[in-house]
């Protein structure tokens, strides 16, 4: 059983990860997802999937940090056709973020973002992309990090997700904004780093 901390997940963690994703993503409220779309798959095998575990071995939060190398690969992840004109490849992609509902106010998602941005930067990736629902709080957070936004009126509809309305595509020049990012996130995650330390070194998987 895993101790309290942050780990890179692998297929041995599949059962817990899928249970968390099914509970939080299949019918999130502002969108629905096919169960097949959130199962452990090839993209998980080839990416860094971070997981935060409690002291009793429960998976509390996870997020996938992925390297995208092609225009078509980015299109299928974002359900949006035009971002490739504004960034360079390879780029980092934040996705499949899931946090247990009774732990969603602790900042675990911010902690996992912090780890992803750090590893993207150390891997030399200039740009990071994400796609999200237009919740004001989430948009404000990404804006503070330095992200720019593109409105996607069609929303998610082609690749296993169905949004209840438009979505937002966010992209960040990580080289330009890394210092700003860390200045915002470091104070927020300091306590979480002590409570949920890295139990295995997060190694470069790209």
Q: Which 3 state secondary structure label does DSSP give 152?
A: strand
Model pLDDT, residue 201: 52
Rounded to 5°, the CA angle 169-20-155 comes to 25
Residues 6+ apart with CB under 8 A from 81: 75
Model pLDDT, residue 205: 47
Q: Where are the domains of the chain?
A: 5-195
pTM: 0.94
| Cβ(125)–Cβ(134) below 8 Å | no
Asked, as a colleague might, if the bond just before 90 is cis with ω within 30 of 0, I would say yes
Regions of the chain with pLDDT less than 50:
203-206
H-helix or E-strand spanning residue 161: strand 161-163
Distance CA 4, CA 57 (A): 7
Report whether CATH 3.40.630.30 matches the domain 5-195: yes
Distance CA 59, CA 23 (A): 12
Model pLDDT, residue 1: 80
């Amino acid at each position: 059983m895993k101790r309290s901390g942050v780990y890179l997940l692998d297929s041995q963690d599949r059962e817990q990860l899928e249970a968390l994703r099914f509970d939080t993503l299949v019918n999130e409220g502002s969108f629905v997802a096919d169960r097949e779309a959130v199962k452990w798959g090839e993209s998980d095998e080839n990416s860094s999937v971070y997981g935060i575990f409690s002291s009793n071995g429960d998976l509390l939060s996870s997020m996938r940090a992925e390297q995208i190398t092609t225009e078509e690969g980015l299109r299928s992840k974002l359900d949006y056709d035009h971002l490739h004109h504004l960034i360079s490849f390879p780029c980092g992609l934040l996705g499949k973020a899931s946090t247990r509902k009774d732990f969603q106010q602790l900042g675990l998602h911010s902690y996992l973002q912090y780890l992803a941005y750090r590893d993207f930067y150390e891997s030399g990736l200039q740009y990071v992309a994400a796609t999200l629902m237009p919740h004001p709080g989430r948009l404000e957070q990404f804006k503070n990090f330095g992200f720019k936004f593109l409105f996607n009126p069609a929303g998610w509809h082609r690749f296993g997700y169905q949004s209840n309305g438009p979505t937002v595509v966010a992209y960040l020049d990580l080289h330009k904004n890394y210092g700003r990012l860390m200045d915002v996130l470091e104070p927020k995650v300091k306590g979480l780093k002590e409570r949920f330390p890295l139990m295995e070194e997060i190694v470069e998987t790209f």
